[in-house]
């Protein structure tokens, strides 16, 4: 076997046999089923090599301009304590698009390991895989796993990686979409609700306020908050018609939202009185604000917090700075902090494993509802343009759901 080589690029693997992955001349999906009904699929090339395809980019730019579809082969000989995986589902998150654009906070490492003409990166931080071969004593064939840390590179049909770079999840009672979308949005909501209000922590009956409430994180926060007895005020963008806006409000209320308002209603002068009426009887008012928008919306959240409250910023969809009145810091002792999922996940993989397990248990019990998704079928014959279009559209306007690559016959 060839000597082992360190692979830091793209977070794909740490060590692999150099001849485990090689270029190949070879060059979407039915309704998802529970784990017990997932059909086997396997593209085998000459001498048992697994044929694989990966989306890659070798320079920063818009996805439609820089993404390429690379075909390669994976050796049937596995290094010690490694797993050969096939992808079941891989979401398209805004952070993935920002990484391709070169605007994300963490820059990936470029590598030629897959045999690309230029050093490249496989995008994708989230997904679920099925083990099709294993040399690990702790993970077996047929198990489902998710990446342990970020920059794993999930937008590909297959992967070969050390067993200690993935987390095994109990697949019983789950489908690939549920397992594949658990580690970013639900985990973000969970940690922000649990970790940033202290002395005392959020208690039953306490209030939190969030913008971007229809996002994946927003929907998760609504549901978790309801389960834990918190009350929520949720801000959304108005839709094209009053009927569509009311439909969205009703949908979030059904998830557990206490109140839902539009951005215009939230920014109106009258909202201050409305907020006082809603939170009357609560000594501390709104204790936590979750901001993923920035600009005027973030400032309005800060002004809505009670004395000693905390605003957590985890996104900036408006691409406008957060401008805060000095008086909030001096006279109301408001705290302003940031949350970056990548930092938490990479620093504390054990906490990530526990958080994922708890959320998936809620899913099995029917207490946590899937985020709406827009499935993007990925088969062996799926064209590059189809995949690029799905990625490029992630940040554009209102969408029916979170884009997710769903794999079959690859």
Q: Which residues are catalytic?
A: 104
Q: Report the DSSP pairing between strands 21-23 and 68-74.
A: antiparallel
Cα–Cα distance measured from residue 196 to residue 288, given in angstroms and rounded to the nearest whole number: 8
Distance CA 308, CA 332 (A): 6
| Tokens, residue 99 | 């990484």
Gap between the Cα atoms of 115 and 55, Å rounded = 13
Task: Return the structure tokens found at 211.
Answer: 């913008």
Burial class (CB in 10 A: 0-12, 13-18, 19+), 51: buried
Crossing angle, helix 349-364 and helix 185-195, to 10 degrees?
110
Compute the distance between CA of residue 215 and CA of residue 236 in angstroms, rounded to an integer. 9
* Closest of 189, 190, 236, 194 to residue 217, by C-alpha: 189
Three-state DSSP class for residue 179: helix
**Distance between CA atoms of residues 274 and 288, nearest Å:** 18
Nearest 5°: the CA angle 163, 52, 392 is: 100
Q: Which of 110, 137, 113 is nearest to 123 (CA)?
A: 110
Residue with tokens 């306490």: 206
């Amino acid at each position: 076997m060839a000597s082992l080589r360190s692979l830091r690029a793209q977070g794909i693997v740490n060590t692999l046999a150099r001849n485990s992955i090689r270029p190949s001349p070879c060059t979407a999906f039915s309704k998802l089923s529970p784990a017990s009904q997932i059909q086997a699929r396997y593209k085998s090339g000459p001498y048992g090599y697994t044929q694989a395809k990966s989306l890659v980019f070798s320079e920063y730019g818009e996805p439609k301009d820089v993404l390429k579809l690379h075909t390669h082969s994976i050796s049937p000989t596995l290094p010690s304590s490694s797993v050969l995986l096939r992808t079941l589902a891989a979401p398209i998150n805004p952070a993935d698009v920002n990484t391709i654009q070169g605007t994300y906070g963490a820059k990936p490492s470029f590598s030629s390991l897959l045999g690309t003409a230029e050093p490249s990166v496989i995008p994708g931080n989230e997904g679920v895989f099925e083990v099709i071969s294993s040399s690990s004593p702790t993970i077996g064939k047929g198990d489902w796993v998710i990446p342990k840390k970020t920059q794993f590179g999930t937008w590909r049909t297959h992967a070969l990686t050390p067993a200690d770079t993935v987390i095994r999840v109990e697949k019983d009672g789950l489908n690939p979409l549920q397992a594949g979308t658990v580690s970013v949005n639900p985990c973000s909501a969970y940690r922000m609700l649990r970790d940033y209000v202290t002395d005392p922590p959020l208690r039953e009956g306490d209030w939190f306020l969030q913008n971007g409430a229809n996002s994946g994180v927003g929907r998760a926060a609504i549901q978790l908050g309801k389960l834990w007895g918190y009350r929520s005020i949720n801000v959304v963008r108005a839709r094209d018609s009053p009927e569509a806006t009311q439909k969205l409000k009703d949908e979030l209320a059904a998830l557990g939202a206490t109140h839902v308002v539009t951005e215009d209603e939230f920014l109106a002068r009258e909202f201050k009185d409305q907020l006082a009426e809603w939170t009357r009887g609560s000594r501390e008012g709104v204790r936590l604000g979750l901001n993923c928008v920035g600009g005027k919306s973030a400032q309005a959240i800060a002004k809505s917090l009670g004395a000693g409250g905390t605003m957590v910023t985890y996104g900036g969809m408006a691409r406008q700075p957060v401008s805060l009145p000095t008086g909030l810091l001096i006279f109301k002792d408001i705290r302003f902090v940031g949350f970056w999922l990548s930092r938490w996940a990479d620093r504390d993989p054990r906490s990530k494993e526990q958080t994922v397990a708890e959320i998936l248990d809620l899913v099995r019990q029917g207490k946590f509802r899937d985020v709406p998704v827009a499935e993007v079928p990925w088969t062996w014959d799926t064209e590059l343009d189809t995949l690029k279009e799905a990625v490029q559209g992630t940040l554009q306007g209102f969408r029916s759901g979170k884009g997710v690559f769903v794999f079959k016959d690859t």
